[in-house]
């Protein structure tokens, strides 16, 4: 009777639906009470599985209602057969549930294997990318070093080429002061000069610029023409009489030239008029005569070549003498440089040894990686061979089990036919013996004279009752045989679709994994 309004939804304010208490009257039955075990989140709200469970419970209750009473001794066999049929049906349903559960587990296993394969592929790709980046970085560093060495050697060669002959040049002071990249304007610090040291010496310190009083005094010393602006009107360039002053003549001439250029640029070319009469063409200026080089004789040419060769020899000999004199003069310095070069050679040998060691380590690492990859390939090949043998064995076992089931079904059918024939033969033999006994009894009674109408009718009724009971029993046996035959065919048809897969799943679960573990343990022991 009280209405409330809230900012929250029912799903946020209430966790589980409310289940009120209930009272069951004696002798009454409610179908909803069979679902009391279901709770919210565990079966509720009901899905497809719960609906199937409810339908099976209804079918089972209907089947229990059709069962014969327990205290009826004549219906015990019928009750037992019905219970056996229901038990087989329940076992078949249970097998279907186990098959579905195994299918779900197989799907989960496939997803896990696929996810592991994807992670492994990503890891391999990442390793390859890292290795490629490292190699690319090493390559770039080597190229950068080669380019730096190339530029350095090129500068050295250019510096050597400027003075090939080794001539001594006089210092050009004017050139040094005009070239802003010379040692005079921009000395190098590696020579020993540091221009930034003691830079505070060159800072301008002035009283008039650094203090307010100095600025005021400097402003007071300035003339009035600096602080007070005096604007004058511009004077005309042209006089009233048309006379142009000398200072404005240049501007006028420039304006005239500019105007003439614009007119020439914007002038439209007139079409050429056709020639009406022949006009005399001007003769070109005659060209000067071509100078002729006097032919030098072979003897003079050979003399000139000999003189040039002699000059080269003399110059080369003079350079050799100069180099020898310089070497003798700076012999101590050359020895010192050779000693330093020997030390550098030792460092180079150490670097070469480190390089060889690094190469040896790289080769060893590559060899280890090759061995590891070969071992992985062998393991993969062995795993494939083992799995192929296992699957081959399982397929053969499946075929064998199918053939065994078929043979078993044929044996059951043959056994049933044999029993039916034996029953028919025993029934026929019993009928013949009974007829023979009846005929003997009739003959004996007729001979003894003790036969009466009542006893005769009683015998006829009894014989008819026995025949009727025998026929009913035979019909019941035939009907049961047909039912058993239908059940056998139904089980056979159902087995080919469901039980075969169940057999495969049980073999994989109960045989494949333990067999693989055993084989891996044996291989480890052999290794």
39: β partners: 42, 43
Burial class of residue 313, CB neighbours in 10 A (0-12, 13-18, 19+): exposed
Q: What is the pLDDT of residues 84-110, one digit of tens each?
A: 888 898 899 889 989 999 999 999 999
CA distance 105 to 112: 11
Give the chain's largest Cα–Cα span.
Answer: 198
43: β partners: 39
In angstroms, what is the C-alpha Rg of the chain? 63
166 vs 105, which has greater pLDDT? 105
pTM for the model stands at 0.27
Mean pLDDT calculated for residue range 18-30 = 75
CA distance 396 to 407: 16
In this structure, what DSSP letter does residue 497 have? I
- DSSP letter string over 110-166? HHHHHHHHHHHHHHHHHHHHHHHHHHHHHHHHHHHHHHHHHHHHHHHHHHHHTTSS-
Q: Is the dihedral of CA 80, 83, 87, 93 positive or negative?
A: positive
Q: How many helices (H) and strands (E) does the chain have?
A: 13, 2
In this structure, what DSSP letter does residue 511 have? I
CA distance 485 to 419: 14
User: In the prediction, which pLDDT does 108 show?
Assistant: 93
User: In the prediction, which pLDDT does 51 show?
Assistant: 83
CB 183 within 8 A of CB 176: yes
Contacts of 79 (CB under 8 A, 6+ apart): 67, 68, 70
CB 409 within 8 A of CB 492: yes
CA distance 522 to 382: 13
User: In the prediction, which pLDDT does 270 show?
Assistant: 62
Mean pLDDT calculated for residue range 104-123 = 93
Using DSSP's 3-state secondary structure scheme, residue 440 falls into: helix
Share of the chain above pLDDT 70, in %: 86
Average pLDDT, the chain: 81
Mean pLDDT calculated for residue range 258-271 = 78
Q: What is the pLDDT of residues 489-515, one digit of tens each?
A: 776 676 666 776 776 677 677 777 777
pLDDT at 17 over 80: no
CB 242 within 8 A of CB 235: no
CA distance 360 to 367: 10
Mean pLDDT calculated for residue range 123-141 = 94
Q: What is the pLDDT of residues 347-376, one digit of tens each?
A: 778 878 888 888 888 888 889 888 888 888
Alpha-carbon separation of residue 496 from 98, 292, 398, 402, 440 (angstroms): 16, 117, 11, 8, 58
pLDDT at 449 over 60: no
CA distance 413 to 410: 5
CB 25 within 8 A of CB 33: no
CA distance 396 to 406: 15
CA 518 to chain centre: 35
pLDDT at 275 over 60: no
């Amino acid at each position: 009777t009280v209405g409330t309004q809230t900012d929250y939804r029912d799903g946020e304010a209430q966790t589980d639906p409310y289940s009120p208490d209930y009272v069951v009257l004696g002798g009454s039955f409610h179908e909803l009470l069979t679902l009391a075990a279901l709770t919210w989140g565990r079966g509720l709200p009901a899905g497809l599985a719960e609906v199937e469970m409810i339908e099976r419970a209804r079918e089972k209750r209907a089947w229990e209602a059709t069962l014969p009473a327990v205290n009826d001794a004549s219906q015990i066999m019928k009750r037992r057969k019905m219970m056996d049929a229901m038990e087989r049906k329940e076992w078949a349903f249970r097998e279907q549930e186990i098959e579905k559960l195994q299918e779900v587990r197989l799907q989960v296993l496939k997803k896990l294997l696929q996810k592991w394969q994807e992670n492994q592929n990503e890891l391999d790709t990442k390793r390859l990318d890292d290795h490629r980046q490292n190699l690319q970085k090493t390559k770039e560093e080597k190229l950068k070093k080669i380019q730096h060495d190339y530029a350095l050697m090129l500068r050295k060669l250019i510096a050597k080429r400027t003075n090939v002959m080794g001539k001594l040049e006089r210092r050009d002071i004017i050139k040094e002061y005009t070239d802003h990249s010379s040692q005079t304007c921009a000395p190098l610090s590696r020579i020993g000069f540091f221009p930034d040291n003691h830079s505070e010496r060159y800072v301008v310190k002035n009283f008039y610029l650094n203090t307010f009083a100095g600025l005021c005094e400097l402003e007071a010393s300035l003339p009035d023409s600096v602080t007070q602006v005096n604007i004058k009107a511009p004077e005309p360039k042209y006089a009233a009489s048309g006379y142009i002053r000398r200072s404005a003549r240049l501007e006028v001439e420039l304006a005239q030239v500019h105007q003439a250029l614009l007119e020439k640029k914007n002038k439209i070319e007139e079409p050429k008029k056709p020639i009406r009469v022949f006009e005399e063409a001007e003769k070109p200026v005659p060209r000067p005569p071509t100078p002729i080089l006097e032919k030098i004789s072979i003897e003079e040419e050979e003399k000139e070549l000999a003189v040039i060769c002699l000059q080269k020899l003399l110059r080369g000999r003079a350079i050799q003498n100069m180099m020898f004199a310089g070497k003798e003069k700076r012999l101590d310095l050359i020895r010192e440089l050779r000693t330093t070069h020997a030390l550098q050679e030792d460092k180079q040998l150490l670097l070469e040894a480190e390089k060889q060691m690094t190469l040896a380590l790289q080769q060893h690492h590559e060899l280890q990686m090759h061995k590891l990859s070969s071992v992985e390939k062998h393991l993969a090949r062995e795993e494939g061979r083992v799995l192929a043998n296992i699957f081959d064995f399982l397929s053969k076992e499946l075929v064998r089990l199918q053939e065994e089931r078929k043979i078993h079904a044929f044996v059951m059918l043959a056994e049933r036919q044999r029993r039916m024939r034996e029953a028919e033969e025993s029934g026929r033999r019993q009928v013949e013996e009974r007829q023979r006994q009846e005929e003997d009894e009739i003959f004996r009674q007729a001979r003894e004279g003790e036969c009466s109408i009542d006893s005769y009718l009683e015998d006829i009724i009894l014989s008819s009752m026995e025949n009727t009971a025998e026929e009913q029993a035979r019909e019941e046996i035939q009907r049961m045989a047909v039912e058993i035959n239908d059940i056998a065919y139904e089980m056979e048809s159902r087995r080919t679709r469901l039980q075969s897969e169940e057999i495969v799943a049980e073999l994989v679960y109960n045989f494949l994994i333990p067999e693989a573990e055993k084989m891996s343990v044996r291989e480890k022991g052999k290794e």
